[in-house]
Structure 1
Amino acid sequence: MTERRPLGMQFESWIDRQIREAEERGEFDDLPGKGKPLPDRNEATDELWWIKQKLESEHLSMPLPPTLALRKEAEQALADALGARTEAEARRIVEEINARIREAIRTGLSGPPLNLMPFDVERVVSDWRRAR
Structure 2
Amino acid sequence: MGWLSWLAEQKIEEAVRRGEFDDLPGSGRPIVPEDLSGVPEELRVPYRILKNAGMLPEELQLRKECLELEDLLAVCASDGEKQTLESRLTAKKLKLRMVEEQRGWSGGAYEQYADKIRGRLEGS
TM-score tier after normalising by the smaller chain length: 0.3 to 0.5
Q: When you count helix as a share of all residues, which structure comes out higher? A: 2
Larger radius of gyration: 1
TM (normalized to structure 2)? Answer: 0.42
Select the structure with the greater relative contact order (CA < 8 A; seq sep ≥ 6): 1
TM (normalized to structure 1)? Answer: 0.40
